[in-house]
Amino acid sequence: MEGKPGTRTVCGIEIPAEQRTPLVEALLRVIEQLQSTVQQQQRRIEQLEDEVRRLKGLPEKPKRKPGPSSLNDPSGPPSAAGEKKKPNTSDGKRPGSAKRSKTPLLVIHDDVPLPLDGLPDGTKFLGYQDFTVQDLKVEPHNTRYRRCRYQLPDGTIVTAPLPKDVTSHFGPTLRQYTLYQHFHNHVTQPLLYEELCELGIDISVGQVNRLLTEGHDAFHEEKDRLLGVLFLGLAAMMLATMALIALTALVAIAFWDTYRWQSLAGITAVYAIAALICAIKARSGLHSSPMVFEATLAEFEKDREIFRKQ
């Protein structure tokens, strides 16, 4: 780079002509080559950064035009940080931020009136201003079945039986909660045992293990029954389809010259009647099978009736 006549400027340093010896000239050429190489590498690095951003799906690097800064200019344009964003809606809220009131849909379990004391005479009561607080109540619920015992005239002692849905000392809700925590929330058995003890449940480590591993025969029986029915149904459907195709072709060939359309109509009617009989049989088989979670479904039905009354 040339400055004054007879001088040469490199990296902001002016070198007069009388100081530029052959060695200095060679060094200046090396410095210029290094500057050119650095600029090329800088451009290459920027290209690679843009390619990495594109492959990662990142936003593109903003390109700023070189120019004088207006930060120190009071009359210049305001910065982006100082600009006030305009609201997207007339009330100053962004679209979709409006919240609907869910309080009327809640079931209120307790009403706590809050009166004021020390009011002057002549004060008129205007009603209530409601403030709803949602909370969660997790606590043990123990039921004691007092089975009546009788002594018959012949001396035999009989005891009233337990309800059909009572099969152990742990109710269905506790069993469901234990299974849900372990298999869905991945809570280990030691942590699950500690949690139940903290909630006030009198239970041992072995009983927690039995709740998770035993008494699930209904699940396995239902799974085996459904798999067996599915396999047999698929096999029967495939074989029946092959047989019906062969039978249709055989009947159509036999009556092709005499009763062509009558034979095809008869085959269609037979197929329709057979399909109806199979559908009726399948429906009756599903209805005759024992209901899974019968006690739980009964509790859900009771809760639904309570909500309807409220």
CA-atom Rg of the chain in angstroms? 43
Adjacent-strand bridge partners of 158: 150
Query: What confidence category does residue 63 fall into, taking pLDDT thresholds of 50, 70 and 90?
Result: low
Model pLDDT, residue 97: 56
Reduce the DSSP state of residue 201 to 3 states and report it.
coil
> Which 3 state secondary structure label does DSSP give 141?
coil
- Residue 80 has a pLDDT of 45
At which residue do the structure tokens 């070189």 appear? 66
Low-confidence winner among 65-74, 175-184, 243-252, 270-279 (lowest mean pLDDT): 65-74
Is residue 204 scored above 80 in pLDDT? Answer: yes
SS3 content of the chain, % helix, strand, coil (to 5): 50, 5, 45
More confident residue, 84 or 99: 99
Residue spans of the domains in the chain: they are 7-53, 238-309
Q: Is 118 helix (H, G, I), strand (E, B) or coil?
A: coil
Task: Pick the range with the lowest mean pLDDT from 166-180, 185-199, 249-263.
Answer: 249-263
Prediction pTM value: 0.38
Whether 109 has a pLDDT exceeding 50, the answer reads yes
Q: How confident is the model at residue 17 (pLDDT cuts 50, 70, 90)?
A: confident
Q: What pLDDT is attached to residue 81? A: 45
Q: What's the chain's length in residues?
A: 310
Q: How far, in whole angstroms, is CA 217 from its chain's centroid?
A: 29
